[in-house]
Amino acid sequence: MKKKFVCLLMAAACTASLAACGGSASETTAAAAADTTAAETKAADDTTAAEAEETTAAEEKEEASEGKQLIMATNAEFPPYEYHDSSMTGPDGSDIVGIDAEIAGAIAEKLGMELVIEDIAFDSIIPELQSGKADIGAAGMTVTEDRLVNVDFSDTYATAVQVIIVTEGSEIAGPDDLAEKTIGVQQGTTGDIYASDDFGDENVDRYPKGVDAVQALLQGKVDAVIIDNEPAKVFVSENEGLKLLDTAYAEEEYAIAVKKGNTELLDQINGALAELKESGTLDEIVAKYISAE
Ligand code: ARG
């Protein structure tokens, strides 16, 4: 193992803005509105005055998005963050469920918007945001410097680790043993990027879905799979003959992506995320899909 593992801990950079959504601006607006109505004693009837006092800047913003669609691009092949489950109904009424789907559902609800989930290839998510076809990318997406060139990310909502899956009898015991081996990954993911950097393009086999890479491992077509820890646990538990190595490969942070420069939506998302963290809803969503060990 020659190269150092990439470590993308952006927690410090991403948490700073969480508490910044106080009420001072809206209080001022409400006070101003109250003053105005006091002065104009004749004109305004009671209803108008009450409305003016209650309508804060934040509410006005929310009303602007009220009833609009919030289009989420994802790749629903990534349990427990997003996957199809025909026995459940997801937040947009489809069978796409999981942590990201529910977080996005909760954010949309706070913004008074209707969530619509689009299930596409993982490496199409950023282009969809850039072209404006989707508003948010929520896909267990890792914040990386390269991606930050093309999209903006919200505050982070989860940490993850890239892990290595091998077959039970494998001699591979850690990243050092991966040199000259064939590594299966999901195309365009950080697992793909890190493995290609560290072990060479020619040693990496890319599959459209993580589960396809896992099937390739079971069939002996690849020697190991590098993928995020939570889906890895699901895939190992669903397939006999596989094991997870306990040596972590790289640590990372998940966040929601938006089109570069869409600060209005980004601020709304960060505000909603902060509320979901504060109220414990985020933890509840995670606990619904990941049982504590
Ligand atoms: N965290 C990894 C990345 O950002 C993998 C995400 C894959 N997500 C998915 N929904 N398939 O590259």
Q: Whose CA is nearest to atom 5 of ligand 1?
A: 189
Ligand 1, from 78, 162, 229: best to mutate by most atoms within 8 Å of Cβ? 78
Indicate which atom in ligand 1 lies nearest the CA of residue 122.
Answer: 11
Which residue from 231, 236, 172, 157 is spatially nearest to 203, judged by alpha carbons? Answer: 172
First to last CA, the chain: 31
Q: What is the pLDDT of residue 195?
A: 97
Residue 195 Cβ contacting ligand 1 at under 6 Å: no
- Calculate how far, in angstroms, residue 210's C-alpha sits from the geometric centre of ligand 1: 9
How far is Cα 258 from Cα 104, in angstroms, rounded to an integer? 13
- Calculate how far, in angstroms, residue 42's C-alpha sits from the geometric centre of ligand 1: 60
Q: What is the pLDDT of residue 247?
A: 85
Which residue from 210, 156, 151, 162 is spatially nearest to 184, judged by alpha carbons? Answer: 210
Helix or strand or coil: residue 275?
helix
How far is Cα 48 from Cα 18, in angstroms, rounded to an integer? 34
Class of the 69-157+255-289 domain?
alpha beta
Residue 75 Cβ contacting ligand 1 at under 6 Å: yes
How far is Cα 164 from Cα 111, in angstroms, rounded to an integer? 39
- Calculate how far, in angstroms, residue 231's C-alpha sits from the geometric centre of ligand 1: 10
Element (H, E) at 96: strand 96-97
Q: What is the pLDDT of residue 41?
A: 41
What are the sequence ranges of the domains in the chain? 69-157+255-289, 160-252
Q: What is the pLDDT of residue 252?
A: 96
Helix or strand or coil: residue 17?
helix
Residue 162 Cβ contacting ligand 1 at under 6 Å: no
How far is Cα 62 from Cα 68, in angstroms, rounded to an integer? 10
Q: What is the pLDDT of residue 119?
A: 98
Q: What is the pLDDT along the chain (293 residues), one digit of tens a residue?
A: 333 333 333 333 333 333 333 333 333 344 444 444 444 444 444 444 444 445 555 555 555 666 799 999 999 999 999 999 999 999 999 999 999 999 999 999 999 999 999 999 999 999 999 999 999 999 999 999 999 999 999 999 999 999 999 999 999 999 999 999 999 999 999 999 999 999 999 999 999 999 999 999 999 999 999 999 999 999 999 999 999 998 888 899 999 999 999 999 999 999 999 999 999 999 999 999 998 76
Q: What is the pLDDT of residue 61?
A: 53
Q: What is the pLDDT of residue 59?
A: 57
* pTM for this model (two decimals): 0.80
For the domain 160-252, what is the CATH superfamily, name and number?
Periplasmic binding protein-like II (3.40.190.10)
How far is Cα 152 from Cα 141, in angstroms, rounded to an integer? 12
Q: Which residues, 6+ apart, have CB-to-CB distance to 270 below 8 Å?
A: 17, 18, 21, 154, 155
Ligand 1, from 186, 197, 225: best to mutate by most atoms within 8 Å of Cβ? 186
How far is Cα 103 from Cα 87, in angstroms, rounded to an integer? 19
Q: What is the pLDDT of residue 38?
A: 43
Q: Which residues, 6+ apart, have CB-to-CB distance to 69 below 8 Å?
A: 113, 114, 115, 116, 135
Residue 140 Cβ contacting ligand 1 at under 6 Å: yes
